[in-house]
Amino acid sequence: MDLERLRHSASHIMADAVQQLYPGTLLGIGPAIEDGFYYDFDREEPFAPEDLARIEDKMRQIVSSNTPFINETMRKRDAIALFEKRGEKFKVELVKGLAGDEVSIYKHGNFFDLCRGPHVKSTGEVRHFKLLSIAGAYWRGNENNPMLQRIYGTAFDTEKELKAYLKFVEESKKRDHRKLGKELKLFTIQDKIGAGLVLYYPKGAMLRSIIEDYIKKEHLKRGYEFVRGPHIMRSDVWIQSGHYDYYKENMYIFKIEDKEFAIKPMNCPGHMMVYKSSLRSYREFPIRYFELGDVHRHEKSGVLHGLLRVRGFTQDDAHIFCLREQVVGEIAGVIDFVKETMDVFGFKDLEIELSTRPPKFIGKEDDWERAEKALTDSLKNKGLAYNINEGEGAFYGPKIDIKIKDALKRPWQCATIQCDFALPERFDLTYIGQDGKEHRPIMLHRVILGSIERFIGTLIEHYAGEFPMWLSPIQVMLIPISQNQNSYADDLRSTLTKEGFRTKLDTRDEKMQKKIREAELEKIPYMLVVGEKESESKTVSVRSKKKGNIGSLSLGDFIKMAKEEADKRL
């Protein structure tokens, strides 16, 4: 069966059930979505989680009636009158906004809705469904409109498929980076600080530092030079780049001494200004500039989501200035960089998309064609499969997006490569060619990890917070059984720290089992328990998060074992 048709039908059945149970509830919209369906409702009293069970029971009654779905065409004015009579103001607004003189209505029983369809033949076909959650949603996605209540659900052809999906949902909840970020004391986002602005706790800041140190070293290996731009720039720069016209609603703009500035949403103008600081020769190319650049974007509050969608974040951003004959090779080099990096962080499965020229763009069409060809040729030369997203490129150039799949096979957007002929022209970037004349370089915008915040959120969910040894903010927890072993444990901590391990010593006057349990909850890879026996024999009792109780080892043997694990990035 067509799942979209099934789920769309389920959304109508849910809306019918809601209006039967809670008279006076008004309808918004109720589409099928990738993993299920939802419907938006306008109701004074908020829905509670326990309401979902009541709605499901009513839905089953509607399903058991096996009532046919019937499609009717109605004149717009009649549809408006019909919905006005029922007080369905949102439906009236939708009908008035439709082109033509007629609209499509779907009915089942006494329920009817504005809908193009299609639907299954009857309610009896929607047998395997589950309501999942309640959320808020602005009418038509506009924060100036009323806030409605959205109920999410899913539906499948078989009970087996439904159970498998519900198991997946439960596992996803356990891995939710917002939940684990709080439990593991990695980060917080607080209203007092500001929505979408991240405050890192010590362990979260350490995790971030580990990732940033790794990515910096890898850029240096590949011939990138480090640059750094200011957090704010005059609006003139953003007008020249085109961001002011194409991206202004997502920018924070303000005045200083009657001059307009903006907090940077992108790093590219700064890198172009660095390029312009010197006269360039063709012999210098390619020129690769890298910055861990902090940017801020005015995202609507309704789309903010933990670390995955924030207002302030850091990009591992780079811009490569190259000659025409170097473009395909440089793109290929970035693709290799992405694949190698994702493999190190434990992501083996990648999806690639090529996004082409959008309806609103800057630059020349023939340059866009050259840019798209360069990206396509790079993918084909490497034998990589990809999907095409027509019209989804950036306003200044087409792009390759590389998505990674986590342990639950969910895709996450990280790396992107954009080929840009337009901005070098806008900023009048030139170099002296072999012929002694001025020429225009081509610029590649690219990130490997993307937003560091989003990448950390992805890592948390991929590993369910149980990071491999090399990534763990705390690698070794030292647990003395009694206060008498504190001195020996502190000597061990000092030695391990000198050997490069991130170590913590728990000297609290608590029972050993409580300390062990709390270290397990913190998902620390190794615990070294030291009592009187270990203190006398100068050994440690090793407990591994992965392998359980390993037993007594000399400190030297433990260091060798732990270093091998960290070096292999297991």
Positions annotated as catalytic residues are: 268, 297, 315, 317, 319, 399, 445
User: What are the angstrom distances between the C-alpha of 49 and each of 25, 152, 518?
Assistant: 17, 12, 31
Q: Using a CB cutoff of 8 Å and minimum separation of 24, what contacts does 61-67 make? A: 61/17, 62/13, 62/16, 62/17, 62/108, 62/109, 62/123, 63/13, 63/123, 63/124, 63/126, 63/127, 64/124, 65/109, 65/123, 65/124, 66/122, 66/123, 66/124, 67/108, 67/109, 67/122, 67/123, 67/124
Angle (nearest 5°) at CA 522 between 174 and 560: 120
CB neighbour burial string for 459-481, b if at least 16 within 10 angstroms, e if fewer:
bbbbbbbebbbbbbbbbbbbbbb
Place of tokens 């240096």: 220
φ, ψ of residue 268 to 5 degrees: the values are -60, -40
User: What are the angstrom distances between the C-alpha of 290 and each of 272, 281, 299?
Assistant: 12, 20, 25
* Closest to 83 in 3D by CA, of 16, 26, 151, 39: 26
Task: Write out the H or E segment, with its range, that includes residue 155.
Answer: strand 147-156
User: What are the angstrom distances between the C-alpha of 239 and each of 243, 244, 246, 377?
Assistant: 6, 5, 9, 32
Residue 551 CA to residue 528 CA, distance in Å, equals 10
